[in-house]
Structure 1
Amino acid sequence: MLAFANAKINIGLNITEKREDGYHNIETVFYPVKLYDVVEIIDAATTHCVIKGLTLPGAEKDNLCLKAYYMLAEDFDLPPQQICLLKNIPIGAGLGGGSADAAFTLKLLNDKFQLGLTVAQLQVYASSLGADCAFFVENKAALAKGIGDELAPVDLDLSAYYKVLVKPPVFISTAEAYACVKPSMPEVALEDLIKLPVASWRTSVYNDFEDSISKAFPEVSALKNSLYLAGATFALMSGSGSAVYALFEKETRLPELEKDNHVFYNV
C-alpha cells in the first residue's frame, strides 16, 4: 500500500507566548498543498526504512515513519514492514514534510491492518510524533493553536489562486528560528484576518519568524520581494522557513528564480 504525503504552508504565524515547558504557543493556519512525498509499506522479514530522493539527515532510528510504526506496534500486533519513502518535499523548509510522512504512515498501517482507529485516535498518536503531525490526519485547512496541535477547521479555499513555492538553498532548524523571536499577542486574531480579502493579507497577515530569519538569511526576504515584484497577491515564508510561497491570480513562471532555488509551480 502506498500514499502520497503532501506538504503544508502556513497562512500567517503568530508566536503568542513562551510556555513553562520551554515550548511556544502559536496561532497559525495550516493549509495543504500539492507537493508530495511517497510512502509505501510492504511486508518484510524485518522492519526498516528505505529512503530515496532527497537525503535525510540523522540516524535511521530517528526517522518519523519508523517511529510511527513502532508506536502502533506497542499497542497492536503488527508484522514487520519495509517502509519505502520517496523524499521530494524539501527539508528545513517549514513545509511539514517529515510530519506528513509520519501521519500518512499511521494512516497506511491503520488501513492495511484494519486497526479501526478513528480520526481522533490517529491524531493522538500523531501529536506525540510532532506538533503539526496531527494536521495531516484529516489534511484540511485548520486553525492551529497551542504548540500547533490544537486544531479547529476553517473555511478557507485558495483553489482559485496559482501557487508558487520557492525553496532557497538554506536550511533553517526550528530551534534556531525560535531562539530569536519575542512572543506577543496579535491585536487581531488570525482566524478573523483570513476572512478578509486575500489582497489585504499583505498588510495584515504576518509570520513572526520572518524578521529574525531574514536578518540571518537575507535571501529569504529577497525571494519574498521578488515574488511581489512578479505580481503576487500575497507572499509569505512558511513555518520557520526557509521556503517562501506566493499566491498569484494567474499562471506564472519565474525562470529567474529557478537559477539558484528550487521552484515548484501550482502546488
Structure 2
Amino acid sequence: MNRYRAYAKVNIFLKITGTRGDYHTLSSRFMRVNSLFDTLWFEPKSTPEFEIRGTFDCDVASNTIYKAYKYLLSDTHSHALSTLMETHAICVDKKIPSFAGLGGGSSDAATYLHMCNDRLDLGLSIDKLALIGANVGADVPFFVYGYESANVSGIGEIVKQVNEPLLDFEVTTPELQISTPAVYRYYREHLFAPISEEESARLEAIPSREILASVNSKEANDLYNAALGCYPELSDKEGWFFSGSGSSFFRVREDNNG
C-alpha cells in the first residue's frame, strides 16, 4: 500500500497586511520541515462509515481530512471516491503536533487530496486541488503545491514558489494548545498594525536565511506578541522563532561539519 508523507511547515516571517471581512490578509514565507511529517495510507475496512485511523484531538466531522473528502466529493461527484471511502479507512501516523503552528491538519488534508487524485485517476490539476483545498483551510494550498519554500499571501490562497535552499530546522513544541482564532482576535483588538505593500514586497524578495539572521522572533512574526497576550504561560525562547500562531518554536540547525 502506497504511503504518503504530509510535511510540517514553519513561517520564516508572518506579517499582517490588512483584513478581508472576518479574515486577516498576510504576507508570509512558508518553508517545509523535512524532518517532521505525518504518514498517510489507505487500509481496507468492513463498515461503510468514513473512518480515520490515528490519534487526533477532534471528532471525524471536524477533521481536515474529512472536510477535504466532502469538498472533493462535492466538486467531482465521483462514485469511485465514495466507494473508496466506504471500503477503505484513511490511516494517519501522526507525528506533527496539533494546535502548534506547523500546519499538520492542512498538510494532512492536502496529502489526502493528492492520494485520492492519484489512486482514482481523477485527473484534477494541481491548481484545481489547491482551489478545493482552500475551502478546507487557508494553509492547504501551500501543501497542495508541494513547494519547499513559498511566499504566501492573501488569506493563504496566493502561493508563489521561492527558489532557495531548504533549511534544516530544529522544532520544539510546548505542551500548550493555542487557538488560532483567539490569537488573531487579540491581534486585531490590541496590536493591529498592518505593513505596507512595499514592505511586504521587500520581505518576499529576501532569502529565508538572511531574514532569520537580521530580525528577532517578535519582528519576524506579528502574531507572537498576540499569542503572548493570550497565553502568558507561553515563555519566550531566546534564539528561537515562533511559527504561525504557535505554539511551536524553530531555529536553523547549523552544520557542525562546516
Question: What runs of 5+ residues in structure 2 fail to find an aligned partner?
Answer: none
> Partner letter of residue 253 of structure 2?
F
Residue 192 of structure 1 is aligned with which of 205, 210, 223?
Answer: 205
Count of residues paired in the alignment: 238
TM-score (norm 1): 0.81
Moved over 6 A (4+): none
1: CA distance between counterparts of 2:6 and 2:247? 20
Question: Whole-Å Cα distance in 2 between the matches of residues 158 and 86 of structure 1?
Answer: 24
C-alpha distance after superposition, 1:203-233 (max 9, x if no partner): 595100111222443554422x1xx2xxxxx
1:49-198 matched pairs, under 5 angstroms: 49-53=51-55, 55-57=56-58, 59-74=59-74, 75=76, 76-77=78-79, 78=81, 79=83, 80=86, 81-140=88-147, 141-159=149-167, 162-181=168-187, 182-186=192-196, 188-189=199-200, 190-194=203-207, 197-198=210-211
Check whether the contact 1:5–1:36 (CA below 8 A) recurs between aligned residues: yes
Q: With structure 2 as the length reference, what TM-score do the two structures score?
A: 0.84
Identity %: 32
Change (3 A) 1:52 1:201: same
How far does residue 110 in structure 1 lie from its aligned partner after superposition? 0.5
Matches within 5 A, 1:11-30: 11-19=12-20, 21-30=21-30
**Backbone CA RMSD of aligned residues:** 2.3
Structure 2 CA distance, aligned partners of 1:173 and 1:4?
Answer: 25
When you count helix as a share of all residues, which structure comes out higher? 2
Q: Unaligned stretches of 5+ in structure 1?
A: 229-234, 252-267
CA 1:16–1:158 in 2, change beyond 3 Å: closer, same or farther?
Answer: same
Match of 2:246 in 1: 241
Q: Residues 191-210 of structure 1 correspond to what in structure 2 (within 5 A)?
A: 191-194=204-207, 197-198=210-211, 200-203=213-216, 206-210=220-224
1:56 aligned counterpart, secondary structure: coil
Deviation of 1:6 after TM superposition, in Å, equals 0.8
